[in-house]
Structure 1
Amino acid sequence: MDDDQYQLFLDLVDDTTNTTDPTYVVSRTVMLCSKETVNEFASKFIPVFYVVNFILSFIGNGLVLLIIFKYEKLTAVTNIFLLSLVFSNLLFASSLPFWATYHWSEWIFGNFLCKVVSSAYFIGFYSSILFLTLMTFDRYLAVVQAVAAAKSRKKVYAIVASVVVWVISIAASVKELVLRNVWKHPINGLICEEYGLSKRTMERWNLVTYYQQFLLFFLLPLIMVMYCYISITLRILSTRIKEKCRAIKLIFVIIFTFFTCWTPYNIVILLRAIQVSRGEDEDSCSDEEGLDLAFYVTRNIAYLYCCISPVFYTFLGKKFQSHFRRLICQKIPCLKGHFLINSQSTRSTSQRAAHSVNEYTHMQHGQVENNDTHSCHPGL
């Protein structure tokens, strides 16, 4: 800590002599960690990453929205879930410019936007992972339980399930709306963070948040995703679909990407919960700084996946690839010849794939709704 920072610290102590919260008073020497590396990383790299993430999210999710509204049936179960996922990602991404500015300097948007942006941020983040899980479960019903689920996979089922996801996400984010406030830090300026309760109470709320994130928004979705896609894989292997190898490869890509992007961040969340449980004072500054740095890096990876997941899920399918080519040909006519050449070179393969899907659809007695038949062949 340099002389200027030390003087600011003394001034803060003088200003709060008569208003000190007794829960923050200790009768022993406390080590203050400067965390210069973490602060430098947060101020230089995170704003750039947030801006790039924001741009990619609005371009990608906007493209998915355009294709759905232009070429798809909006009342189909799969598209209702996909629209909900896109809106949740756009809600999350809309908060990123605010956080980029915050990391670059300080919070300049006032107390009201501090609460609103924080709530939108977590509602979008939580609902994104839940909608990804819900879409996976819906694919499981369409493939593994197609006959039994044919009557239940209706518009009402999709709307009710989506409402439940939004309610859970909002309830999990209420803490941000209540506890987030703007206050003046002697060194970092205006801060938008949880503030107003005693240190012990804040630590308990942090523990609730950490375990909520790990158990409800990671472990449970991961178990469901693994179970559903393993069941889908076994079902595909038991059929006569000629392109089953491609379907299984795409399933592996989806599971691997999900696991790779979300696991590191949630492991860090669990380590943070353990750290809070046993007391921060037992950790050295280097350990604490390393955990904070790992938190920023792994969180950014999870956020990137959160923003691009609709593009990732939709454009693995040949149906959306076809819609995309059609849209590009309409908007940029000079590329029409290029897409026609590629289409002719792969026509025989596409015809074989269509024949395979028809075999599988016939095997399911036509019980899967017409607009969702592509769900029977995950990613195709």
Structure 2
Amino acid sequence: MDVDYIEYDDYTAGNETENSNITAEYTSRGSELSLSHVLVAVNIIILVFGLGGNSLVIWICGWKMKRTVITTWYTSLAISDFLFCVFLPLEVFYMITSHWPFGLFLCKLASSALFLNMYSSVFLLVLISADRCVMIYCPVWSHNHRTVKKALGGIVLVWVLSALLTLPSLMFRQTTVKGSVTQCHTSYVDHSTHKAVVMTRFICGFLIPFLMIVSCCSMLCVKLRSLTIKSSKPYKVMAALILTFFFCWVPYHSFVLLESDMKNHSLDLLQTGLKVGATLAAANSFVSPILYVFIGNDFKQVLKRSLTSRMEEAMAEDLGTIGLSRSKSKTVEMI
């Protein structure tokens, strides 16, 4: 993430002050390089586990489990995280080299993937929370009207709304050539536009959805106390997903809001905070599959059955091949 607005004041000092400034600058650069190395390593881990884990969730929820409303929600959530992870290698390359050789189109698309993931994920979590409330408070109506087809319609609306809210990233992301290096950065028209985009992302992509989610969860907690439910696993998965989204995105939004008023804050602090916040936000894309595996009972059972059946099929094929080769060798000996 780029800091777009900053004014540097001319400052003249004596040799002693200049030497101390140079020393401080080298120390700052050293710590910045160390942080960059750590963030690159973390992003590579997010990339590997995000692609693998979300592919697994899409395969299990989309093809192996019975098609229900809740598996439809989770499949769409996994697709959102997977699409973000697909573009993450480009960002990792840019973090390592500080050079963007992929062109303007991919500059716009790769940077927009994070915000598309942010909007679609939180909107899907709103749908999941509201869906659980409807199931508990209106069980008869839910049984008659809650269908996979309607869930798919809701998902289409979520993706359209998410794409529209992601348009500012596509519009203001630009490439700039400086010598032999090409930079991919955000270039707003003015500070007021920058602030408007930041506030829109915070209000529409975090504050309002999160308040809706908290309201639904509060209603669920009140109702569930008076009910006897066989399994609370689905609600634990939902709660874990919501908490994960909150803790992954709060640092990012906090530093972006501080950036919009950067004259009152340290530039180094903002740059470090934005880098760490963006990495934590990216981490949300690979945490969800882990939650399904460790919390979701149905998911674990289907996964075990699928892996076991695959191993059995592979072993059966190997045994069949061995048996076939032995029969051929016996035939040759008889001849």
* TM exceeding 0.5: yes
TM-score, length of structure 1 as denominator length: 0.68
Name 1:211's counterpart in structure 2.
Answer: 199
Bigger CA drift: 81-90 or 112-121?
112-121
| Correspondence for 2:310 among 319, 331, 346 | 331
Structure 2 Cα separation of the partners of residues 27 and 136 of structure 1: 47
**Residue aligning to 2:244:** 257
CA RMSD of aligned residues (A): 3.2
Tell me how far apart the structure 2 counterparts of residues 144 and 136 of structure 1 sit (CA, whole Å): 12
- Percent identity over paired residues: 26
SS in 1 for 2:190: helix
Which residue of structure 1 aligns with residue 16 of structure 2?
A: none
The 5-angstrom pairing of residues 9-48 of structure 1 reads 29=10, 36=29, 39-41=32-34, 43-48=36-41
Judge conservation of contact 1:77–1:158 (CA < 8 Å) in 2: yes
| Counterpart mapping for 1:138-177 below 5 A | 138-177=131-170
Give the Cα separation in 1 of the matches to 2:237 and 2:118: 25
Rounded to whole Å, the distance in 2 between the matches of 1:181 and 1:38 is: 28
Match of 2:271 in 1: 292
Hey, what does 1:73 align to over in structure 2?
66
Please report the TM-score for the alignment, with normalisation by the length of structure 2: 0.76
Between the two proteins, the alignment pairs up a number of residues equal to 296
Q: Distance in 2 between matches of 1:130 and 1:260?
A: 16
Deviation at 1:83, TM superposition (A): 1.9
Match of 2:119 in 1: 126
Structure ranking higher in helix proportion: 2
- Which ranges of structure 1 fall in alignment gaps of 5 or more residues? 1-23, 334-380
- 1:99 equivalent to 2:86? Answer no
Match of 1:86, as an amino acid?
A
Contact 2:198 2:256 in 1 (8 A): yes
1:91 and 1:121 in contact (8 A); partners too: no
* Residues 61 and 72 in structure 2, CA contact (< 8 A), matched pair in contact too: no
Structure 2: gaps (5+ residues) = 13-23, 313-335
When structure 1 is superposed on structure 2, of 102-111 and 116-125 the one drifting more is 116-125
The residue identity in structure 1 corresponding to 2:74 is L
Question: Is 2:263 aligned against 1:271?
Answer: no
2-structure distance, mates of 1:30, 1:331: 69
Quickly say closer, same or farther: Cα 1:314–1:80, change in 2 above 3 A. farther
Distance 1:90 1:243, change over 3 A: closer
Structure 2 SS opposite 1:173: helix
Q: State the Cα distance separating 1:243 from its structure 2 match.
A: 5.9
Q: Secondary structure at the match of 1:95?
A: helix
Q: Tell me if structure 1 keeps the 8 A contact 2:241–2:288.
A: no
Amino acid at match of 1:125: M
Q: Contact conserved, 1:125 with 1:306, CA < 8 A, in 2?
A: no
Distance 1:329-1:156 versus aligned 2 partners, 3 A rule: closer
Specify whether residues 116 and 248 from structure 1 end up closer, same or farther in structure 2 by C-alpha distance, changes over 3 A only: closer
Q: Structure 1 CA distance, aligned partners of 2:243 and 2:121?
A: 18
Please say if residues 237 and 292 of structure 2, whose CA atoms lie closer than 8 Å, have aligned partners that are also in contact.
no
How many angstroms apart in 1 are the aligned matches of 2:66 and 2:238? 25
1:141 is displaced (CA, Å) by 1.8
Q: Is 1:193 aligned to 2:180, yes or no?
A: no
Equivalence for 1:90: 82
Indicate how the Cα distance of structure 1 residues 319 and 149 shifts in structure 2: closer, same or farther if over 3 A, else same: same
